[in-house]
Homo-oligomer: A and B are copies of this chain.
Amino acid sequence: MDDTFTFPVNVRYLEVDAQGVVFNMWYLAYFDDAMTAYLAHRGLPYDEMTAAGHDVMLVHTELDWHGGVAWNDPIVVAVSLARLGSTSFTLDFQVRRAGEVVVDGRTVYVVIGTDGSGKRPIPDLLRDALGPERPLRPL
């Protein structure tokens, strides 16, 4: 059974461009929402993380489109930890429509201090929330 966390996305009319499909940048908006929901689902609401002095920052992201999403398509974004390093972690995202993978995403984050002190090792509260490594496609 697939128990990967999924986040339902509300595709807005304005996100669909003249080609009739969601414009590419909006997937990064979906992934950002899904990342936050994933952490909250695993016990770490985002503002609890920042209240503890930690924030995350993207250093790399990649997307592969296998198809397009139209306005009324019911889609979800699946989120899973792909890799947990000492100072960075990688999340896998999949935009799914009726079980089909429409877009694959992968993002590498680093942890920074909210006090401007820069990069730091992944703190325990975040490490615990991220869970076990279960990439959605080969690394």
Contacts and interface: CB of A to CB of B under 8 A. Distances in A.
A19 B55 contact: yes
Contact of A33 (B10, B23, B63): B10
Interface residues of A, number: 33
A76 to B, nearest CB: 14
Nearest to A106: B62
A32 B61 contact: no
A132 to B, nearest CB: 26
Interface string A47-73: 100000001011111111100000110
Interface of A: 10, 12-14, 16-20, 23-29, 32-33, 36, 46-47, 55, 57-65, 71-72
